[in-house]
Amino acid sequence: MNEFTKMATVKPMKTPMLLRITSLLAAATLCPLLPVFSGCDTTESTNTEKADCTLNPSAQFAVVQDPPADPAVATTTTVTPGATTTTVTIEGGVTNTVITVEPATTNIVPSGTDSVSITSLRVTATPSGDSAWTVLAEDNIGNTYAGSASGPALNEPGSENAYAPGATVATFALQCAGLSGEITAVALTAIPLEVMRTTTTNGSAVVVGRHGQHTLTPGNTELRLVATVDGEEPYTLTGRAPCSAATIVW
């Protein structure tokens, strides 16, 4: 009876244990199948080293120079010719003297030209792909500044994985002969991290997943240029241009 009693006591305890083990196995099996971005939770995350970004700096920048170009210098010369005296003798012994003076003339002679200034700068994609860009700028006396742009170097988003208004999203480096600087993509409005769901097929199976994505548009992102032009008196160029549509997939 004692052994039967022990068996009767133990058997009811095995059922809850078995259910618990079964539940754990089921959770472990389902966890890899859940369409999440980071482990088995529901929190998306970002990693600039693994992000796939389609942002590019191709644009036409109308630039402002600081300090501004010096205007051309003009020399003003005033010329006053000598007076001409004419004597007229009238009958009757009366002499009338008339003095005629030519009016003064002013000659404005331009001397020199405006100092060097750049009014526009263009960045375009090269035929080799979207990851390489050419830079071309021209100044008012015919000099050209050609080079390349590299990037983007992405910045991590801020709170709740969103780019706040005014935050720098990414940076491109400019390198030209006589000109260097950077182009930054700046958020004009808050850019949240969107959850994008995807489906792919693997044979007859359909795999459902998701990823985090920031969507950039001309309405929420702006390109800003800051560059320095070398020379005896270096000067700075600043400019703005709309950002083309792009995505950052995390």
Question: pLDDT digit string (tens) for 79-99?
Answer: 556 556 565 666 666 666 666
Q: Can you give the residue range of the structural domain that contains 133?
A: 34-70+116-249
Give the whole-angstrom CA distance, residue 152 versus residue 155: 9
Q: What is the pLDDT of residues 156-197, one digit of tens each?
A: 999 999 999 999 999 999 988 888 999 999 999 999 999 998
Residues 128 and 231 in one domain: yes
The whole-number pLDDT of residue 67 equals: 86
Number of domains in the chain: 3
Q: Are residues 50 and 148 in the same domain?
A: yes
3-state DSSP helix/strand/coil % of the chain, to nearest 5: 15, 50, 35
Measured at the CA of 155, the angle between CA 154 and CA 161, to 5 degrees, comes to 120
Judge if 105 and 80 occupy the same domain. Answer: yes
Both 28 and 120 in one domain: the answer is: no
Are both 44 and 26 inside the same structural domain?
no
Give the pLDDT score at 125: 81
Tell me, what's the pLDDT at 36? 41
CB count in 10 Å sphere of residue 61: 24
The candidate with the shortest Cα–Cα distance to 135, out of 238, 59, 237, 53, is 59
Inter-residue contact 116 to 157 (CB < 8 Å): no
- Whether 140 and 182 share a structural domain: yes
| Contact between residue 185 and residue 222 where contact means Cβ atoms under 8 Å apart | yes
Checking phi first, is residue 37 left (phi over 0); if not, alpha (psi -120 to 50) or beta? Answer: alpha
Task: Please report the pLDDT score of residue 218 as a whole number.
Answer: 96
**Which amino acid belongs to residue 77?**
T
Residues of the chain with pLDDT under 70: 1-44, 70-115, 127-131
Q: Do 66 and 185 have their domain in common?
A: yes
